Amino acid sequence: MNPFGFQFAAILLLLLNTVMVLETQAANVKPQRITCYKRYSKCYLKYITCPSECPQIRPKDPYAKECFLDCYSPKCEAVCRKRKPNCDGPGAACYDPRFIGGDGIVFYFHGKKDEHFSLISDVTVQINARFIGLRPAGRTRDFTWIQALGLMFGSHNFTLEATKAENWNQEVDHLKCTYDGMSFRVPIGHSSVWSSPDRNLELERTSATNSVRVTIQEIVEISANVVPVTEKEDAIHSYGIPKNDSFAHLEVQFRFFDLSPKVEGILGRTYQPSFKNSAKAGVDMAVVGGDNKYKTSSLLSADCNSCSVFTPGKMVAGRALPMDFGSLDCTGGNGIVCKK
């Protein structure tokens, strides 16, 4: 055998070996079982085995799909789902901001930079967004992105913010959070979890940095990434992003559990049962104006003209339910921090 042939054979063997090792690893993961602790759920205390394609509820691999059981669905079935926001799915707010309504229809909202707007205003929850942006010379309106979210529910408040980054580096975390006015840090690292002292709110990292999922019991689940405006996007849209600011912002997807038919807000109104989108699906992209309706005075206030729905202090009928921290190692203190 010539030396080249030998090398080739060795590499082939190595590759084969790797494939075999990977396969055995996948086969070795025993599917976990998952259940719902909500009494009104179809799956209440029924233990469902996860699909073999996504055997774990909180997979260690940031690219793996998770096993998910929708406790609010009429079907009791565990499925695989991505852990990051899907910018093309309902309840998404990404890019400069492009929304996907509860009805699945795409629309844009022309906000203003350095102002706050109500995304959701409902009986039990108010969700505002802070817009950042810029206006290149000669343009009549701002280009904007969502930099922060402010939530009020019951007597609590929560904020999630993308911090400023001159030059973007994915290894550096650009998330800042507060709960009831106190800032808290979630340890860097995939699957690290923070839970509020009353356990109403849980925040889990879905990759080592810059991705989280926030769950507020009975109300909403938010998947979010912090991302910069990329050079490519800048070139396509001629935003004119300056060299010293990456315009770090949020891309988010909401999943609501209990909206009322009166829900308001830029995104909220698309969840009204009677809502008729003025845009025909796939034909035209509606641009929503109406900043006079949705503008709020700060990240945590419900004073927009169409915000009258939110009642501070009002909690949902169900009480806070215990969460399943599985094999996580939790320490107390100001909030509970868990690490795998």
Ligand X SMILES: *[C@@H]1O[C@H](CO)[C@@H](O)[C@H](O)[C@H]1NC(C)=O
Residues that bind ligand X (CB under 6 A): 157, 164, 166, 180-181, 242, 244-245, 300
Question: Nearest distance from residue 134's CB to ligand X, in Å?
Answer: 11
Residue 93 burial (C-beta neighbours within 10 Å; 0-12, 13-18, 19+): buried
Query: Which is closer to ligand X, CB of 244 or CB of 274?
Result: 244
**Residue nearer to ligand X on the CB measure, 187 or 242:** 242
Please, what is the minimum distance in Å from the beta carbon of residue 270 to ligand X?
Answer: 26
In this complex, which beta carbon is closest to ligand X, that of residue 180 or of residue 303?
Answer: 180
| Residue number, 123 or 279, with CB nearest to ligand X | 123
Alpha helices in 214-311 (DSSP H): 231-237, 291-294
Judge whether 153 and 121 are in contact, CB under 8 Å: no
Smallest distance, ligand X to C-beta of residue 27, A: 49
Instruction: Output the smallest distance, CB 271 to ligand X, in A.
Output: 24
Question: Helix or strand or coil: residue 248?
Answer: coil
SS3 92: strand
Please, what is the minimum distance in Å from the beta carbon of residue 184 to ligand X? 13
- Using CA atoms, how far apart are residues 233 and 230, in angstroms rounded to an integer? 5
| Cα four-point dihedral sign 72, 74, 75, 79 | negative
**Strands in 82-219 per DSSP E:** 92-94, 98-100, 106-109, 115-121, 125-134, 143-153, 156-162, 175-179, 182-184, 193-195, 201-205, 211-216
Q: Closer to ligand X at the Cβ: 99 or 158? A: 158
